[in-house]
């Protein structure tokens, strides 16, 4: 479906947006034709989300103009944009969990008054859902739905409002490969009816799979707009990062030693009062990376917390270097040689208002090298911090700067520096590269492989299948809190793993 030239459905010209200290968008142009799926590609911090939030009326641009169907528009609030037929699906869904799907859709309509004709809404929604392949029960309560279904509700909301410009912010980040395929089919149908779709992404293969054209942003500037098909991924990657980096890591064959981290028939209670981990048995040997794949919310967090001593298991055993540490405190796990790269960096991994130096000693401040008796020697703490900052390339205004001022990549390097310098026997790495750009991701991958070489066992919990396939020697697939399978790297294809993530068990092998 190639774009018929005039007039573009969405036209942004010379859009500039400054935040204190950052030029988020610098004279960006964007044109999206009716019937087009346009990918907006770029690394984290390239300005994709800012540009789209401007189009959605959430920010006002400092310069530049926006035309919708040829008419210049100035949006003061998202309400203005919605009135112009623009809709956006955010990464964080905006749904009321206790209400039904139909109620959520009704709630989002601008004219929603006191009287609600729910049966009619249910009928209409069911028809819309069938038409666009958005399988979801309009009467179901939102809290009962999986993330994939919730996303479909968000799209149904846009349809109900009659949006003909749809912006989707990294829609596949929470989906299995199969769900992503289904979403792409829906998007194609939506575009075929003349809507303009904008897909924010940093995944190259998605661009080729679904988009017609792609605009690449880097450091807030538009690098170029090219046809999605026919532009090789390497070329897109070069545009995105400014150099060719389809990541290639050197991974020697594994030479695993003895078991460093063992989990046997582990059951862990989740926050909702039902077991989130159900009888998982898994072991990671010294010098081995074991990847745990799965869609978010399938027990990964509870599994990791139970291993780290942050959540007491219901039953089952955890072993660290041959010792039974079931129900041990976090301190005992740290002392036993477990390092933990937590899921939520800012919320768990650091004390953001404390200095970089303090955060680098967050787990080792009890050591004799940092002071005598009850006292801490600030000079020893600072010297240690400077050493690690240099070795791990942590860029900060100084070791006295608050950790909360660091960028995502630097913050993750700080956490890695602290966790790795403890010379761990086992590393629990939780989404270690989520939200990082290509350069920072590569650095993290190299560090994890270095640790594998140094004889540590790594339990890598990640939603990023590419990352798991790249690093892991063995892959465990977690689905519904159970292990769907444990396979050796190279033994299963992406599709197979994706199917298992979606709940289908591997045929007995």
User: Which residues are within 8 A (CB) of 384 and not within 5 positions of it... i.e. 6 or more apart?
Assistant: 357, 360, 361, 369, 370
Residues 6+ apart with CB under 8 A from 305: 268, 311
435 — phi, psi (to 5°)? 80, 0
* Contacts with other proteins, 269-308, as mask; x by CB under 8 A: ---------------------------------------x
Give the span between the Cα atoms of 458 and 261, in whole angstroms. Answer: 9
Instruction: Give how far Cα 245 sits from Cα of 42, 248, 480, Å.
Output: 14, 8, 35
Task: Kindly state the number of chain residues that form the binding site for other proteins, as judged by CB under 8 A.
Answer: 44
d(CA 331, CA 365): 12
| Closest separation in Å from C-beta 121 to other proteins | 20
- Does residue 6 belong to the site contacting other proteins (CB under 8 A)? no
Give yes or no for residue 107 binding other proteins (CB under 8 A).
no
262 binds other proteins (CB under 8 A): no
> Which listed residue (35, 342, 409, 424) binds other proteins by CB under 8 A?
342
Q: Please report how close the Cβ of residue 254 comes to other proteins at its closest, in angstroms.
A: 29
Task: Tell me which stretch binds other proteins (CB under 8 A): 126-134, 373-381, 384-392, 455-463.
Answer: 373-381
How far is it, in rounded angstroms, from Cα 256 to Cα 339?
19
* CB of residue 327 to other proteins, shortest distance in Å: 15
CB of 499 to other proteins, least distance (A): 34
Closest distance between other proteins and the C-beta of residue 59, in Å? Answer: 6
Closest distance of CB 78 from other proteins, Å? 5
Does 253 sit near other proteins (CB under 8 A)?
no
- Near other proteins by CB under 8 A, which window of 28-36, 215-223, 332-340, 468-476? 332-340
From candidates 333, 356, 357, 385, binder to other proteins by CB under 8 A: 333
Quick one: which segment of 270-278, 319-327, 350-358, 497-505 binds other proteins (CB under 8 A)?
350-358
The piece of 16-24, 141-149, 225-233, 238-246 that touches other proteins (CB under 8 A) is 16-24
Report in angstroms how near the CB of residue 371 gets to other proteins at its nearest.
7
State yes or no: residue 435 binds other proteins (CB under 8 A): no
Does the protein bind other proteins through residue 185 (CB under 8 A)? Answer: no
Shortest Å, Cβ 21 to other proteins: 8
Is 4 exposed, middle or buried, given 0-12, 13-18 or 19+ CB atoms closer than 10 A? exposed
Q: Taking the complex as a whole, how short is the minimal distance between the CB of residue 37 and other proteins, in angstroms?
A: 23
Asked if 312 interacts with other proteins (CB under 8 A), we say no
Contact 491, 291 (CB under 8 A): no
The verdict on 347 binding other proteins (CB under 8 A) reads yes
99 in contact with other proteins (CB under 8 A): no
310 binds other proteins (CB under 8 A): yes
Q: Which stretch binds other proteins (CB under 8 A): 1-9, 51-59, 120-128, 139-147?
A: 51-59
Q: Which of 290, 330, 310, 315 is nearest to 461 (CA)?
A: 290
430 near other proteins, judged by CB under 8 A: no
**What is the distance between the alpha carbons of residues 62 and 53, in angstroms, rounded to a whole number?**
13
> What are the E-state strand segments in 164-311?
165-169, 196-201, 213-218, 221-227, 259-269, 275-285, 288-293
CB-neighbour burial class of residue 191 (10 A; exposed 0-12, middle 13-18, buried 19+): buried
**Cβ neighbours of 10 (radius 10 Å):** 24
Count Cα neighbours of 42 within 13 Å in the Cβ-side half-sphere: 25
Take residue 55 and report the two structure tokens written for it.
């189009």
By CB under 8 A, tell whether 93 contacts other proteins. Answer: no
Using only C-alpha atoms, what is the Rg of the chain? 25
Contact 284, 315 (CB under 8 A): no
Tokens found for residue 265: 């028939």
Q: Is residue 334 close enough to count as binding other proteins by CB under 8 A? A: yes
Task: Closer to other proteins by CB, 127 or 351: give it.
Answer: 351
Q: Which is nearer to other proteins, 99 or 241 (CB)?
A: 99
Q: Should residue 92 be labelled a site residue for other proteins when binding is judged by CB under 8 A?
A: yes
Least spacing, CB of residue 334 vs other proteins, in Å: 5
Pick from 4, 98, 329, 493 the residue near other proteins by CB under 8 A: 329
**Is the separation of the CB atoms in 157 and 105 below 8 Å?**
yes
Q: For residues 293 and 2, what is the distance between their CA atoms, to the nearest angstrom?
A: 37
| Residues, the chain | 509
Nearest CA among 458, 394, 451 for reference residue 423: 451
| Residue 56 touching other proteins (CB under 8 A) | yes
Backbone angles phi, psi at 469, to 5 degrees: -65, -35
H-type helices in 278-322, by residue range?
Answer: 300-308
Residue placing its CB nearer to other proteins in the complex, 297 or 330: 330
Q: Quick check: 230 binds other proteins (CB under 8 A)?
A: no
CA distance 12 to 65: 6
Residues in contact with other proteins, shown as a per-residue x/- string from 352 to 371 under the rule CB under 8 A: xxx---x--xxx-xx---xx
**Residue 306 to residues 236, 265, 303, 326, 475: CA-CA distances in angstroms?**
41, 12, 5, 9, 20
Which range binds other proteins by CB under 8 A, 154-162, 163-171, 336-344, 476-484? 336-344
Contacts with other proteins by CB under 8 A lie at: 19-20, 22, 56, 58-60, 78, 88, 90, 92, 94, 308, 310, 329-335, 340, 342, 344, 347-354, 358, 361-363, 365-366, 370-371, 374-376, 378
């Amino acid at each position: 479906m190639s774009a018929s030239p005039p007039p573009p459905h969405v036209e942004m010209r010379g859009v500039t947006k400054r935040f204190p200290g950052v030029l988020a968008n610098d004279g960006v142009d964007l044109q999206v034709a009716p019937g087009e799926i346009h990918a907006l590609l770029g690394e984290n911090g390239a300005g994709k989300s800012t540009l789209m939030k401007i189009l959605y009326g959430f920010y006002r641009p400092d310069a530049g103009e926006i035309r919708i169907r040829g008419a210049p528009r100035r949006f003061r609030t998202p309400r203005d944009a919605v009135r112009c037929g623009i809709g956006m699906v955010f990464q964080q869904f905006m749904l009321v969990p206790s209400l039904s799907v139909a109620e959520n859709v009704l709630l989002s309509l601008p004219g929603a008054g006191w009287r609600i004709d729910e049966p009619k809404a249910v009928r209409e929604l069911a028809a819309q859902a069938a038409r666009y392949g958005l399988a979801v029960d309009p009467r179901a309560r939102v809290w009962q739905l999986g993330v994939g279904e919730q996303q479909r509700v968000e799209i149904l909301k846009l349809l109900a409002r009659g949006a003909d410009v749809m912006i989707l912010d990294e829609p596949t980040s929470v989906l299995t490969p199969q769900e992503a395929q289904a979403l792409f089919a829906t998007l194609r149908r939506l575009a075929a009816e003349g809507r303009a779709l904008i897909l924010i992404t940093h995944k190259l293969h998605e661009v080729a799979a679904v988009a017609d054209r792609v605009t690449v942003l880097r450091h807030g500037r538009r690098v170029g707009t090219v046809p999605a098909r026919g532009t090789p991924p390497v070329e897109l990657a070069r545009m995105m990062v400014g150099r060719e980096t389809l990541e290639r890591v050197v991974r020697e064959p594994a030479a695993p030693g003895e078991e460093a981290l063992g989990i046997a028939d582990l059951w862990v209670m989740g926050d909702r009062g039902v077991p989130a981990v159900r009888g998982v048995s898994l072991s990671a040997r010294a010098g081995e990376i074991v990847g745990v794949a799965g869609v978010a919310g399938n027990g990964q967090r509870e599994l990791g917390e139970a291993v780290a001593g942050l959540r007491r298991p219901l039953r089952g055993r955890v072993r660290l270097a041959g010792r039974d540490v079931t129900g041990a405190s976090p301190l005992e796990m740290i002392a036993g040689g477990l390092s933990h790269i937590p899921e939520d960096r800012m919320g768990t991994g650091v004390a953001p208002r404390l200095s970089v130096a303090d955060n680098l000693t967050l787990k080792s401040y009890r050591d004799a090298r940092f002071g005598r008796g009850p006292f801490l020697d600030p000079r020893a703490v600072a010297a240690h911090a400077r050493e690690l900052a240099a070795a791990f390339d942590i860029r900060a205004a100084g070791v006295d700067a608050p950790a909360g001022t660091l960028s995502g990549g630097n913050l993750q390097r700080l956490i890695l520096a602290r966790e790795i310098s403890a010379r761990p026997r086992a590393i629990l790495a939780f989404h270690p590269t989520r939200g990082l750009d290509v350069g920072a991701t590569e650095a993290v991958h190299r560090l994890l492989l270095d640790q594998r070489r140094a004889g540590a066992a790594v339990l890598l919990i990640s939603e990023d299948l590419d990352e798991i396939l790249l690093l892991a020697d063995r892959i465990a697939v977690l689905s519904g809190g159970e292990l769907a399978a444990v396979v050796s790297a190279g033994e299963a294809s992406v599709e197979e793993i994706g199917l298992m993530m979606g709940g289908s068990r591997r045929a007995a092998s």
